[in-house]
Copies of this chain bind each other. A is one copy, B any other.
Amino acid sequence: MQFTSERRLDDGVLEREFTLGEIPGILWTPESAAPAPLILIGHPGGLHKMYPRLVARARHSAADGFASATIELPGSGDRPRSAAAEQARADLRRALDAGEPVDDEIADRLVLPLVEKAVPEWQAALDALLSLPGIGGPVGYSGGVISIGTRLAVVEPRISAAVLFAGSFVPRAMFEEARQVTIPLHVLLQWDDEGNDRQAALDLFDAFGSEEKTLHANMGGHTGVPQFAGDAAARFFARHLK
């Protein structure tokens, strides 16, 4: 992990860009000297485009005493495209534009290779991040892609709680994996999310094996998560990562 830039935000949060091999990422740490629990900030891909929302979430977490980090997804932002993923994305777009139901086969082609590739990258990032001074444990995962968060919750024992954003199509195979999740979960669902299948999100919530799981459904579209829902997610981490 190599740091490539460093700046102090006006609220005292230290923002550092880094690369992990070919993968760009950003780390935000609060001002306090004590080792901070870490939240991995998930997103749909495209760090530059997503930056305003990512930094807002990181500042909120820093105010609660948490470090946050994120990495670019395979095939997004400045990373090389995959022809197969681009094709699947185009097929998805076409189905949505035509108002057609999204084929399981499209969701499989779009999401499963992404999960396969991204999850080991997040794990490698975790190795590097946890070796830094100022970053302690426990670790939480927050956000989308929900299939990446689900797989991480199953395979990565260092993640002890997750806020999952039900805002992307879920391959059927992930429902079986969801049953193996046992960590506390806080699932956010936007009731009118235009690029999502509400019933699939409810089914996935039902499938999670966790003894403590909570669904917070709010009105509005994909990007309309209300402030109070973000606050509630922050309180979930405060309960589980301290």
At the interface, yes or no: A95 with Cβ under 8 Å from chain B?
Answer: no
At the interface, yes or no: A87 with Cβ under 8 Å from chain B?
Answer: no
Given contacts A191-B206, A202-B202, A206-B191, contact A219 B228 (CB under 8 A): no
Chain B residues near A229 (CB-CB < 8 A): 214
- B217 near A215: Cβ-Cβ < 8 Å: yes
Interface of A is mostly: mixed
A68-82 interface bits toward B, Cβ cutoff 8 Å, 1 = contact, 0 = none: 000000000000000
Interface size on A, residues (CB 8 A): 21
A210-232 interface bits toward B, Cβ cutoff 8 Å, 1 = contact, 0 = none: 11111111110000001011001
Bound Cα distance A61, B191 (Å): 29
Report how many copies the assembly holds.
2
At the interface, yes or no: A239 with Cβ under 8 Å from chain B?
Answer: yes
Chain B residues near A202 (CB-CB < 8 A): 202
CB distance from A30 to the nearest CB of B (A): 24
Q: Which residue of chain B has its CB nearest to the CB of A217?
A: B215
CB distance from A203 to the nearest CB of B (A): 12
Given contacts A202-B202, A206-B191, contact A228 B217 (CB under 8 A): no
